[in-house]
Structure 1
Amino acid sequence: MGQYHRNLCQLLALVLVSSISLDANAGIKCWINKEEVRECGNAVPAEYAQQGHTKFNAQGVAVGQKKRAKSQAEFAQEQRIKKQKAEEDRKRQEAEKADRVLLDTFSSEDDLVFAREGKVSAIEAQIQLTESHIEKIHANLDRMIAIAADLERRGQKPSEQAMADIEKVRAQVAENHSFIETKRTEQESVRQQYATDIERFRKLTGIR
């Protein structure tokens, strides 16, 4: 609205003050109706309550403005933005915490390399122990299979228990191989994590 309309609204508010019996503190509220015409009164009609209005005092001076209520879509968008910001803040705080831990734990890049090699070596020791265990299991499996084959050559059928034991040992071999694969993956994960940590450490300490 232009200056003319604002003056007209103030004048209308003054007229309403004189024509409507109001408490001095009640004020007058003005809103826009369906015909895009500004209306004023001591209370906003229910049908316009959600669209916002301007409040005037007894002298016709605007003393407050109530914004229109948000639509469901606007409210949902606002909530999405708040949620996104909260998630960004959480990630930022976690990153800052990780940086503090990194600098508090390691005083040099060599310390990081030493820690990395220590973890990789510890995993390698587990792998070698498992490989040694597999060799023993295989030896036992070969012996069990040889016994069953010898029985078959003599026309005898190995017992169901003997065959079940063979399958059980084969399953143990497979399980141990799977364990080794998992540990190899873990080693690679350790290397990648420390590569990231070393790069971050260099950035935080200004090392090139």
Structure 2
Amino acid sequence: MIKTTAPLLAAALLAALSLPVQSATEPTKPAKAQAKSGTYGKIQCWTDDQGNRACGDRVPPEYASKELETVDRQGRVVNTRSREKTAEEIAAEEKAAAEAAAAKVKAEKQAAYDKFLTDSYSSVKDLERARNERLATLDGRVNLANQSIEGSEASKADLQKRIDGMLKKGRPAAEQQKQLRDVEKALRDNRAAIAQMQKDRESVCSDFLRDIQRYQELKMGAAAYAGECPKPGSPVLAAVIEKPLPAAPKKKTDQDKKKDKKKDAKKDKKNKDAKKDKKPEE
């Protein structure tokens, strides 16, 4: 950027000083405003579109949004005002701030979930067992739904046969037709439920794979996992059903703790009484 030389700046200052001097007792309205704002007796400097530096007591409107320097009568810079930001710059700053805020929230959520993993599971096997329990539950529900479908298919065939016979004889079959519609709806619902449970099964496998890898990374510094998600009917899942996890110990209430203290006190008293009653050996 080309700046005005010292002689040019001095000339600008002299030009400003050569303005008509108002009476000291009757300052003009602009002078009053300048005195109130603290800019009285100061010059504004800016850079024009050609890169040339210019100064004066008033800034042309086309340069009002650009960087401005305020200089006093001795030519010293007493204040600098940065140029106004463009709409694109403001939008970019807002976007960057929003992305930073989102990244912070994501990091906080990840830290909370990491704590949940390390507090809830003591090993990768614990995670595998929890995964297998959910899979076994889903597979059991799928089996029940399939059994229901088999029964509904048989009922549907029987009803259809009865309806055809009744209509052939000219008898009304409105009740049987309603039953048939109910059976067909049950079939659709069960098939939709099976499709959803199959999706849930895939989600369980992928979610636990992610959790196991993260757990390994947190505990062992490695995310590699050689295990596989058991398929439906796997002996591993059958073993989970046959050998459920032991029930978690029941958390004692304040009342339970008081009872335990009373029992311990009675036991201590009984032991002390027994020692008193015992005669010393001769």
The alignment's TM-score, normalised by the length of structure 2, stands at 0.62
- 8 Å Cα contact 1:10-1:61 kept in structure 2: no
Write the mapping of 1:68-147 to structure 2, written as runs, cut at 5 A. 68-147=83-162
Q: Deviations over 1:126-172 (max 9, x none)?
A: 2222223323333332331232233356x335523422431331121
Write the mapping of 1:1-208 to structure 2, written as runs, cut at 5 A. 1=1, 5=4, 7-8=6-7, 11-12=10-11, 14-15=13-14, 18-19=17-18, 25-26=38-39, 27-34=42-49, 36-152=51-167, 155-156=169-170, 159-206=173-220, 208=222
- 8 Å Cα contact 1:53-1:65 kept in structure 2: yes
Give the CA deviation at 1:198: 0.4
Distance 2:163 2:180 in 1: 9
Query: CA, structure 1 residues 7+103, in 2 after alignment: closer, same or farther (shift >3 Å)?
Result: farther
The AA in structure 2 aligned to 1:91 is K
Give the CA deviation at 1:12: 4.6
Query: CA, structure 1 residues 124+52, in 2 after alignment: closer, same or farther (shift >3 Å)?
Result: same
Distance 1:175 1:131 in 2: 11
Distance 1:139 1:25 in 2: 95
The 3-state SS of whatever aligns with 1:122 is helix
The 3-state SS of whatever aligns with 2:4 is helix
- Which consecutive residues of structure 2, in runs of 5 or more, have no partner in the other structure? 22-30, 223-282
Query: CA, structure 1 residues 10+98, in 2 after alignment: closer, same or farther (shift >3 Å)?
Result: farther
Give the CA deviation at 1:25: 4.4
Which moved further from structure 2: 107-116 or 10-19? 10-19
- 8 Å Cα contact 1:54-1:62 kept in structure 2: yes
Give the CA deviation at 1:109: 0.9
Distance 2:78 2:55 in 1: 14
Higher helix share: 1
Distance 1:12 1:25 in 2: 23
Give the CA deviation at 1:34: 4.8
Give the CA deviation at 1:183: 0.4
- 8 Å Cα contact 1:31-1:54 kept in structure 2: yes
The AA in structure 2 aligned to 1:204 is L
The 3-state SS of whatever aligns with 2:55 is strand
The aligned length equals 206
The alignment yields a C-alpha RMSD, in angstroms, of 2.8
- Which consecutive residues of structure 1, in runs of 5 or more, have no partner in the other structure? none
The AA in structure 2 aligned to 1:53 is L
Give the CA deviation at 1:192: 0.8
- 8 Å Cα contact 1:29-1:55 kept in structure 2: yes
Larger Rg: 2
Distance 1:120 1:8 in 2: 86
The alignment's TM-score, normalised by the length of structure 1, stands at 0.82
Give the CA deviation at 1:88: 2.7
The AA in structure 1 aligned to 2:202 is E
- 8 Å Cα contact 1:120-1:190 kept in structure 2: yes
